[in-house]
Amino acid sequence: MDLKDLVIGIVFLLQSTVGILGNFSFLSYYLMHYYNEQTLKTTDLILTHLFTANSLIILSKGLFHTMKSFGMKEFTNNFGCEFLLYIQRLGRSMSISSTCFLSVFQAITISSGNSSWLTLKVKAPKHIGLFISLCWIIYMAINMIFPVYMKTKVNNKNLTHNSVMKYCTTSGHDDLTGSLYTALFVLPEIILSVIIVWSSGSMVVFLYRHKQRVQHIRSTGVSYRTFPESKATHCILTLVSTFIGFYALSSILQGCIALIYNPGWWLVNITAVISMCFPTLGPFVINHHSTVPRLCFS
């Protein structure tokens, strides 16, 4: 075994262990709460879907890369490889979408009662579950159609060269396939990332204005080390920085992999490591971010 394979295998193993423990712990907590109370808050419902999506990414991508890095390359056939790739894409798409839902919903929740979002504030909790379910259906369909299209195109053109796409080896790679992958997967991720930045920015601006309005009524004789608004702002900025730092960079790198004829070992594995960072660390960051509404109005 090469030293670089050993190092990258240890990295994937650590990521997978921490990610599985983190996501499964929080997911179990919300499922137990639902079992006891027979209901979930809207934010908790979104987080349940998010932790489920993160778990799919870690189980399909993290464990696969770990075993492959340690030399177990023949433990699955082509169908198993395609199935794991399907699960990984589905989990990634839903993880980003759920994070977007979380950010937008909390921006609506803490918005002023006189704002134009008042109607959304009333209707959003009633329909958020339906929207997330539709996202699951849409992404399951898209992620199922794309591999079928790619295989059909390969068979029709009788392409014989191989190219590495993420961790599966697929026959046939051309500009149209790469462009289609970019349009179906990379571009929507970038758009959702922009929406997350916009909604988070709106929350930061609202919290700053709220702090300025109420600061004069707070007792000057009491020492406030950290105002609730400041703490909530830090939570928001931490989530956005973590998300953009990992997922946006991962989207760019995966777009490069889709467009490059024969991506190298370093590009494929570094992209995989970066794409695993948010699903691994996300539960711990988002657990603090979910307290933003309570912090704001405490």
Say whether 281 sits in a helix, a strand or coil: helix
Amino acid making up residue 177: T
pLDDT of residue 132: 93
272: confidence class by pLDDT, cuts 50, 70, 90: confident
Cα–Cα distance, 243 to 253 (Å, whole number):
15
Q: In 3D, which of 61, 263, 277 has the Cα closest to residue 178?
A: 263
Residue 53: is its pLDDT beyond 90?
yes
Amino acid at 168: C
The pLDDT of residue 133 is 92
DSSP string, 73-92: -SSS-HHHHHHHHHHHHHHH
Question: What is the model's pLDDT at position 56?
Answer: 93
Query: Residue 277: which of 10, 12, 4 has the closest Cα?
Result: 12
Tokens 């997922």: give the residue: 247
Is the pLDDT reported for residue 201 higher than 60?
yes
CATH class held by domain 3-157+168-214+225-296 = mainly alpha
pLDDT tens figures, 114-172: 556 677 777 777 888 899 999 999 999 888 876 655 555 544 544 433 444 444 544 44
Distance CA 255, CA 186 (A): 6
- What is residue 164's three-state secondary structure? strand
Q: Which of 10, 141, 23, 149 is nearest to 70 (CA)?
A: 10
**How far apart are alpha carbons 184 and 145 in whole angstroms?**
11
For the segment 222-266, what is each residue's pLDDT rounded down to a tens digit?
444 555 556 666 677 777 778 878 877 887 887 787 677 677 788
Radius of gyration over every alpha carbon of the chain, rounded to an integer in angstroms: 21
pLDDT in the model for residue 136: 94
The DSSP line for 188-205 is HHHHHHHHHHHHHHHHHH
Distance CA 176, CA 180 (A): 6
Exposure string for 286-297, b = 16+ CB within 10 A, e = fewer: bebbbbbeebbe
Element spanning 104, H or E: helix 78-109
Q: CA 181, 187, 193, 197: dihedral to nearest 10 degrees?
A: 170
- Range name among 24-38, 49-63, 88-102, 146-160 with the lowest pLDDT average: 146-160
User: Rounded to 5 degrees, what are φ and ψ at 4?
Assistant: -65, -35
Kindly list the domain boundaries of the chain, sorted by start residue: 3-157+168-214+225-296
